[in-house]
Structure 1
Amino acid sequence: MNGPAIRVKTASPVPPYEQIRTQLATLIATGRLHEGERLPTVRQLAADLGLAAATVARAYRELEAASLVRTRRGAGTRVAPLTAPTHTPDPTELAELALRFVAEARSPGADRETVERAVRDALDE
């Protein structure tokens, strides 16, 4: 993965593993990480971010459970082929995602208008 960097804000109310999971899921969903692209090893990403390997491993496990990545011994963790959604998103899950996004977006001081503009821009991509 030579693309965009993953950043973790330790002062954020969002747990570090969730920040990693969300950022990687977004990079995959938007095509910035391509099918078959190899992610850093758990140890490497943990060292780069100054986190425990277990934190990164949890993020990778959750990405694998969501079928966004595949991990194979000797081949590492790679971006899985994207598949079309097979179910309608759960409104409760969407609300939780929105709350986490808003908390993360406001942590550096973004106001409501800036957050809304960022969401509109992301939806328009």
Structure 2
Amino acid sequence: MTLKISIDAGSSTAPYEQLRAQISEQARSGRLPVGQKLPTVRGLAEELGLAANTVAKAYRVLEADGVIETRGRAGTFVAAAGDAAARQAATAATAYATEAHRLGLTRADALAAVTDALRAAYGDGDRDTP
């Protein structure tokens, strides 16, 4: 299985975010299996024509999200991210629900705010992935 990344230089989305989103989606979908070794920061930067700092930033965010893990000199690998992502989403949802309740929002208003935020994040289409 190989990493397939396409960076759109004309996109309004920052290159590091495009890279982060594509690696995350491929890892969560299983196209990048758990344990798959990823290219080095410098290697991937060279391959994609990006600055090494851009790739390093994407890798840092992916590691913080639990999608990848760095094993010292052995390299960077796809982590078992499904559970980590689900835990983080549940924590964020609980925090949001608590704050919405504290603010006195109705359930309908709280759900409308989430729907608007998801529409903004995912776009107006019916896509299920970022």
TM-score range, shorter chain: 0.7 to 0.9
Pair 1:93–1:68, CA change in 2 (3 A): farther
Q: Which residue of 2 aligns with 1:94?
A: 118
In the alignment, is residue 61 of structure 1 matched against residue 85 of structure 2?
no
| Aligned alpha-carbon RMSD (Å) | 2.2
Q: Which is bigger in relative contact order (C-alpha 8 A, separation at least 6)?
A: 1
Q: Which residue of 2 aligns with 1:23?
A: 22
- Output aligned runs, 1:1-125, within 5 Å: 2-84=1-83, 85-86=86-87, 87=90, 90=93, 91=114, 94-99=118-123, 115-116=125-126, 119=127
Does the aligned pair in 1 maintain the 2:16–2:55 contact within 8 Å? yes
1: CA distance, partners of 2:9 / 2:33 = 28
Pair 1:30–1:89, CA change in 2 (3 A): farther
Which consecutive unaligned segments of at least 5 residues does structure 1 have? 103-114
Which consecutive unaligned segments of at least 5 residues does structure 2 have? 94-113
Structure 2 residue matching 1:74: 3-state secondary structure: helix
Structure 1 length as normaliser, TM-score? 0.73
Q: 1:97 Cα shift?
A: 2.5
Q: Amino acid of the residue matched to residue 67 of structure 1?
A: G
Aligned sequence identity (%) = 40
Structure 2 length as normaliser, TM-score? 0.70
Structure showing greater radius of gyration is 2
- Figure out how many residues of one structure are paired with residues of the other and give that number: 104
Q: Deviations along 1:43-85, whole A, 9 cap, x unmatched?
A: 0100001110000000000000000100122111101113431
Deviates most, 80-89 or 64-73: 80-89
Pair 1:44–1:58, CA change in 2 (3 A): same
2: CA distance, partners of 1:88 / 1:96 = 21
Q: Amino acid of the residue matched to residue 122 of structure 2?
A: A
1: CA distance, partners of 2:30 / 2:78 = 10
- Which is helix-richer, 1 or 2? 2
